[in-house]
Every structure is written in structure tokens, then in C-alpha cells.
């Protein structure tokens, strides 16, 4: 069985991949995540996922390298990670009472055959109408300044939601496991078999 590598420094992605019970190692790739001119959120999520996997290809020959990236958008406008409390506050104010799209890219690079399969998962989140006090309370308890959208779905961020539409609940947390399992099976790795 080829060895798995998670091309990510994200603890949340490692926790998700641990669910599959497969041995793997992880390394954080160094790529430029700047969106390109006229790049749609879906294209950006797919490109960054692929580039993360490709960035580790030379270090990990004969491996399956998993790359993933998530971007948020509202009205098809790309939203970055807030990076600070003020920006997170502004994003949450803008999201209040609105639908936000999360596009989670996934790439599985098979360095044995120089083949990279990709997928982008769309998750739509309806945010409740939030009061200023709720936004401040959330930011005080969980300042998610390094997360697309400015909240952590896997933690207190769910209290911000009215509803979620998705084909893969793990995608919103950063790694679409349903699609990953399919891509792994296609590459000869089945989490259900030894």
C-alpha cells in the first residue's frame, strides 16, 4: 500500500483524516495562496489543493499526497481568512442573515503514476441574523481569525447557523472525507480493508 501524506499543517484536517484509521504523515507545503485575477472561488479552491499536493511531490515519491484548501464566498465574491478581530467582526456582520458558500478543494496526487485527481465540494451555510452582542460574544469565546469565513464549524461556530446544505458534512470542516475515500479506493487504498 502506498504511504499517505497530508499536505497540511491544519490540526482540523489531521483530526478528520484520523477518522479513516489509515497511517499517514503530514507536512505543511509552502505555496503562494494569492488568488489570481478573475479566479472564481471554486477554481481557486481546486488550484490551491492541487498546488499543496504538488509542492510535496519531490519529497515524497511513491506516495499518495492529499491536498485540501477551503475558500468562502458571498455573492460569488471571494472572502479571505480574517487575520484579525476587526476583520472577523466585519465578516460576521456581513454574513448576518445571509447565505455563505464554502468551496473545499481536494486533490489526491499519486506520485507513483504522476496522476492528480481533484474535486471541489460546495457547502452552503445560512447564517442566522446576528445581534452585535452575539458577534462580540462569539469573537470573545472563539476568535476564528485563521479560518475561511471567520468561524469554526466544528466548534461554537455552529451556533451562528440556521442551516447547512452539503453532500459531505466533513467538507465544511476542511477535508471532504466522502470524496477522499472514493479517490483513495480509485488509487488502490480502501479504508475498510487491510
Closest-CA residue to 67 (of 146, 6, 113, 9): 6
Residue 191 lies in a domain: no
Burial of 76 (0-12, 13-18, 19+ CB in 10 A): exposed
What would the 3-class secondary structure string for the chain be?
CCEEEEECCCHHHHHHHHCCCCCEEEECCCCCCCCCCCCCHHHHHHHHHHHHHHHCCCCCCCEEEEEEEEEEEECCEEECCCCCHHHHHHHHHHHCCCEEEEEEEEEEEECCCCEEEEEEEEEEEEECCCCHHHHHHHHHHCCCCCCCCCCCCCCHHHHHEEEEECCCHHHHCCCCHHHHHHHHHHCCCCCCCC
What pLDDT does residue 152 have? 78
Range of the domain at 125: 3-186
What pLDDT does residue 180 have? 98
Residue 192 lies in a domain: no
CA distance 110 to 62: 7
- Report the predicted TM-score, pTM, of the whole model to 2 decimal places: 0.91
pLDDT at 89 over 60: yes
Residue 194 lies in a domain: no
* pLDDT band per the 50, 70, 90 thresholds, residue 1: low
Q: Is 126 labeled as catalytic in the residue annotation?
A: no
Closest-CA residue to 186 (of 74, 108, 90, 89): 108
Tens of pLDDT along 107-135? 999 999 999 999 999 999 999 999 999 99
| Candidate list 32, 62, 69, 146, residue with the active-site label | 69
Tens of pLDDT along 59-87? 999 999 999 999 999 988 888 888 899 99
What pLDDT does residue 154 have? 74
- Number of structural domains (the chain) is 1
Q: What is the dihedral of CA 123, 129, 132, 138, to 10 degrees?
A: -40
Residue 49 grid cell = 489543493
- Residue 140's alpha-carbon distances to 70, 97, 144, in angstroms, are 24, 21, 10
CATH of the domain at 173: 3.90.950.10
Residue 193 lies in a domain: no
pLDDT at 185 over 70: yes
Strand partners, 104: 70, 121
Amino acid at each position: 500500500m502506498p504511504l499517505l501524506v497530508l499536505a497540511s499543517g491544519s490540526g482540523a484536517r489531521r483530526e478528520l483524516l484520523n477518522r479513516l484509521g489509515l497511517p499517514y504523515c503530514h507536512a505543511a507545503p509552502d505555496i503562494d495562496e494569492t488568488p489570481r485575477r478573475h479566479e472564481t472561488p471554486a477554481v481557486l479552491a481546486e488550484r490551491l489543493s492541487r498546488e499543496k499536493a504538488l509542492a510535496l511531490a519531490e519529497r515524497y515519491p511513491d506516495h499518495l499526497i492529499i491536498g485540501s484548501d477551503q475558500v468562502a464566498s458571498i455573492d460569488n465574491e471571494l472572502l479571505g481568512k480574517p487575520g484579525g478581530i476587526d476583520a472577523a467582526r466585519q465578516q460576521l456582520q456581513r454574513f448576518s442573515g445571509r447565505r455563505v458558500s464554502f468551496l473545499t478543494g481536494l486533490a489526491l496526487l499519486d506520485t507513483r503514476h504522476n496522476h492528480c485527481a481533484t474535486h471541489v465540494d460546495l457547502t452552503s451555510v445560512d447564517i442566522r441574523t446576528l445581534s452585535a452582542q452575539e458577534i462580540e460574544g462569539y469573537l470573545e469565546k472563539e476568535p476564528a481569525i485563521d479560518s475561511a469565513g471567520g468561524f469554526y464549524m466544528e466548534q461554537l461556530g455552529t451556533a451562528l447557523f440556521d442551516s447547512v446544505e452539503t453532500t459531505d458534512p466533513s467538507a465544511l470542516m476542511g477535508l471532504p472525507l466522502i470524496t477522499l475515500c472514493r479517490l483513495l479506493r480509485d488509487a488502490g487504498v480502501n479504508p475498510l480493508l487491510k
